[in-house]
Amino acid sequence: MGKEDLELTKEKREKESYRRVLMTWNSAIKNASLYAEDHPMIEQSCQNLHGAVNELLRDKLEISIQHTDAIFVIENQLFIEESIMMYDLLSLLEEIKIDMVTFLPGITTPEIKAFVLEIHKMEKSKLTLHDRKDLSNPHIRAVFLADKNVTYDIHQSRKARFEKIHQTLHEWRQIGETVFDKLIDEQTLPLSELSNPLDKLIELIELDSPSVSIALCGAKTNLHIDHSVHSMVLSIYMGEKIGLDIANLKNLAISALLHDVGRFLLPSDFGTSHEISFGDTDFIQLHPHDGAAYLSGVKGIPPTAVRVALEHHIGYDGLGYPSLSKNHRPHPYSLIVGLADFVSWQTVTDNYYHKPVVPHRLIRSMIKRSGTQFHPFLIKLLVPFLGLYPPGTRVRLTSGEEALSIQANLENIIRPDIAIPDSDGSWRNQSLQDLILTSVGIGRITGYQDLTEYSQEFSPSTKDSE
């Protein structure tokens, strides 16, 4: 069994363990509502939950389970499964305003039973926040959502960081225009001229990736150039996370920048306003082959760039295009760039494939393709970069306040930095990062707002979340 097969097996095993914890938890609470406290069914279901929790705790210091917007987050990883059981448990936790539950090693069945029974009592009696009993015990920690927001001001240096990021991306758009002009008109690639700008970009992504993610959420002005640059940035981020050294990061970056060169070779009438017909789709899907063939004739092009141009639409399961041999496996860079390409195109405005997807829906779309079109490990790497509530997502807090997500939190993907409107129409920056002092969470998504320039005052105009 290969390394990738082992990773997928581990992924499936972990997901099944998460599912078992949630199922047995829900079953225990249901039985508590049906039977007396000393009934064997309650005892058995609590033993089942104890076994499921201990199975996950074998190699962990703790297990933290949170929920938000009808999604469970376990160990900072998203767990989505559309079933009545999941919705029942989510609805209960939202009703009694439990934000997070943490299980610790050494937990016993009696502790779990006491925890489950107390949750049932809270549900049955409709206790207010002030009347609730502390559910925590030596091996279980429970955090409630507060009625009022307690937050921190975001560090003032952020504005300067954003200006630097926007300037760097602007420079790369200009570099991209030069690269593709020379590539198409002269069949040359100025690799030596890209080295220093790449060093600067790689360092910036490594030092402040959450802020970089905001800059990528703005509307694109030059479709093909912006898409190529954005795909490169996303690819560099994933490459850094898997531990590529600087030489390989630059190789990946060049491959990502050039991956869609085949689109530049399409007829000029295939612009952003062109509506594709049935026959056009087959024609457009020739661009990976055409792009790879073109790059192979350009002196100095890295071989991996040619391969990525050919393979970036094949997918993790090999069912994409172009159709290659049955045993062909795409290069790891092709899998990285393929995911980056998808994320960038899904948010492009006025393209000839579809209406742009608001970022919070993009996250769900990515997760649904995990294990098929995209490698599950890469999905795990990229979701925290965007955040479960990507910059620009409008939300309603559990305190009732309206807010706007402005930056992902890599440590806790359901606790983004937010902006809250004041009565005078201005915005104040807040943070939901500290779970101890900040027990207000996000209730639900209400819309999306384009954050083109962070340094400007946020506009009250929004796009509906559909």
State the average pLDDT over residues 251-274: 81
Give the span between the Cα atoms of 53 and 356, in whole angstroms: 40
Evaluated on CA atoms 357, 359, 363, 369, the torsion sign reads positive
Strands 63-68, 98-103: parallel, antiparallel or unpaired by DSSP? Answer: antiparallel
State the average pLDDT over residues 20-28: 90
DSSP string, 288-307: HHHHHHHHTTSTT--HHHHH
pLDDT at residue 332 in the model: 94
| Neighbour order of strands in the sheet with 442-448 | 427-431, 417-421, 402-407, 393-397, 442-448, 463-464
Angstrom CA distances, 199 to 188, 246, 301, stand at 21, 8, 19
Whether the CB-CB separation of 65 and 73 falls below 8 Å is answered with: yes
The CB-side HSE value for 334 (13 A sphere, CA atoms) comes to 26
Residues 6+ apart with CB under 8 A from 83: none
pLDDT one-digit tens code per residue, 141-194 = 887 765 434 333 334 445 666 777 888 888 999 999 999 999 988 999 888 899
State the average pLDDT over residues 370-399: 83
Query: Sorting pLDDT into bands at 50, 70 and 90, what band is 443?
Result: low
> Cα-flanking dihedrals φ and ψ of residue 312, to 5°?
-65, -15
State the average pLDDT over residues 260-279: 69
Amino acid at 134: D
Amino acid at 50: H
pLDDT one-digit tens code per residue, 387-435 = 777 777 788 877 777 888 877 776 777 777 777 777 666 666 655 544 3
Give the span between the Cα atoms of 341 and 360, in whole angstroms: 17
The pair of three-digit structure tokens given for residue 124, joined into one six-digit string:
């049955």
Give the span between the Cα atoms of 17 and 22, in whole angstroms: 9
Query: pTM for this structure?
Result: 0.69
Angstrom CA distances, 455 to 161, 212, 215, 258, 314, stand at 10, 14, 11, 31, 39
Give the span between the Cα atoms of 431 and 316, in whole angstroms: 37
pLDDT one-digit tens code per residue, 64-104 = 888 776 678 887 777 766 566 777 788 888 778 787 888 99
pLDDT at residue 440 in the model: 62
Q: Which of 76-90, 215-229, 329-343, 435-449 is the most confident on average? A: 329-343
Other CB atoms within 10 A of residue 62 CB: 13
State the average pLDDT over residues 327-347: 91
The CB-side HSE value for 15 (13 A sphere, CA atoms) comes to 16
State the average pLDDT over residues 268-282: 62
Evaluated on CA atoms 168, 345, 312, 284, the torsion sign reads negative
Give the span between the Cα atoms of 184 and 306, in whole angstroms: 15
Beta bridge partners of 79: 72
Place of tokens 């069994």: 1
State the average pLDDT over residues 116-138: 68
Amino acid at 288: P
The pair of three-digit structure tokens given for residue 462, joined into one six-digit string:
């929004």
